[in-house]
Amino acid sequence: MIGSFLRVAWHVMRKDLTVEVRSREVLFTTLFFAVSVVLVFSFAIVREGRAPDDVAAGILWVAISFAGTLAMGRTFERERYNDTLRALILAPADRPAIYMGKLLGLLLLMLLVEAVLLPLVALLFSAPILAFPVHLTLLLTAGTFGFCAVGTLFAAMLVRVRSRDTLLPVLLYPITIPVMIAGVRGTAALFQAAPDEPMARFWIGLLVFWDAVFVTLALWTFEPVMTE
């Protein structure tokens, strides 16, 4: 039962990654968009060649959230354009497993983007990313996972809706604010001159709980919402 769920999720994820590896379209566009966001915010905030303290974490997470929104929109747009979404829904597989597969595919994509974004932010703002690498990785993974969990559900919901491009951020951002708060505060705690490790651990714990609750809710909700 859990085995079949994981198998379907794995197949859906593999399909998404195969398509992405061949075209690399979403990866490159998302990556360059994220870098542009970091640059725009840097120009907006940096004054006299120096950035105010603590902006690195904020800018990083803003870039992640903007780029993530685009990436999830693009992934489902590709399904809609090729009409493969109907095939997915019609497939004799557990719908929540399909959701999981798409979520994992999106998560992997975003983690790749962040792998490039993090060193860039560290370079531009002299942030100590090597001080607590494990904590930082956990924080980014947990935060991105939570963001993508809600986003995958909403993007799937909106795929046939007319104003989906503007409605996705409108729906997504208010609901993922706790993730943003946790991510930014946790990252800021780690980027401080004297890193606050217990604080970071607290935010990571909160993120894990939040992720568990919302992935569970998404798994329950995916079926009734997508039955159209």
Partner 1 sequence: MRTLTTPFIVLSAGMLFVSPWIINAAPYESTMGLVQKVFYFHFPAAIMFLLAALICGVNSFRFLFFRKQSADGWALAAAELGLLFGALTLVTGPLWARKAWGVWWVWDPRLTSSLLLWMIFGAYVLLRQYGGPGSERLSAGMALFGMLNVPFIYYSVNVWRTLHPQTSVVPTLPTDMGIPLWFCFAAFSMLFTALLTLRATLEHQRVRVEALYLLEDEV
Partner 2 sequence: MNRVTRVVRPIGRVGQWAQAVVQVMVLLIALAIPASVDATQPQPPKEFVPVDEVPPGEQIPAINLVAAAYGFVWLAVLGYVWSIARRLKTVETELADLESRRR
Residue 212 makes contact with partner 2 by CB under 8 A:
yes
DSSP 8-class letter at 46: -
DSSP element (H, E) containing 6: helix 2-23
As measured in angstroms, the least distance from the Cβ of 176 to partner 1 is 9
As measured in angstroms, the least distance from the Cβ of 12 to partner 2 is 10
Distance of CA 209 to the CA centre of its chain: 17
Q: How many CB atoms lie within 10 A of CB 165?
A: 13
Residue 154 makes contact with partner 1 by CB under 8 A:
yes
Both tokens of residue 55? 């902006």
Residue 11 contact, options partner 2, partner 1, none, Cβ 5-8 Å cut-off depending on partner type:
partner 2
User: 120 and 35 in contact (C-beta within 8 Å)?
Assistant: yes
C-alpha Rg value of the chain to the nearest Å: 18
Residue 216 makes contact with partner 2 by CB under 8 A:
yes
Exactly one of 7, 88, 169, 181 binds partner 2 (CB under 8 A); which one?
7
Residue 189 makes contact with partner 2 by CB under 8 A:
no
Residue 181 makes contact with partner 2 by CB under 8 A:
no
Both tokens of residue 98? 């399909």
Percent helix, strand, coil in the chain, to 5, is 85, 0, 15
- The CA distance from 150 to 44, in Å, is 29
As measured in angstroms, the least distance from the Cβ of 137 to partner 2 is 17
Residue 219 makes contact with partner 2 by CB under 8 A:
yes
Name which of 182, 188, 224, 172 is nearest 206 in CA terms.
182
Exactly one of 87, 177, 197, 212 binds partner 1 (CB under 8 A); which one?
177
- The CA distance from 63 to 145, in Å, is 15
Name which of 38, 134, 95 is nearest 220 in CA terms.
95
CB nearer to partner 2: pick between 69 and 152:
152
Q: Which residue stretch of 92-100, 109-117, 130-138, 184-192 sits at the interface with partner 2 (rule: CB under 8 A)? A: 92-100
Exactly one of 171, 190, 204, 215 binds partner 1 (CB under 8 A); which one?
171
Residue 18 makes contact with partner 2 by CB under 8 A:
no
CB nearer to partner 2: pick between 4 and 84:
4
Residue 115 makes contact with partner 1 by CB under 8 A:
no
Considering only residues 184-213, where is the footprint of partner 1 by CB under 8 A?
185, 202, 206, 210, 213
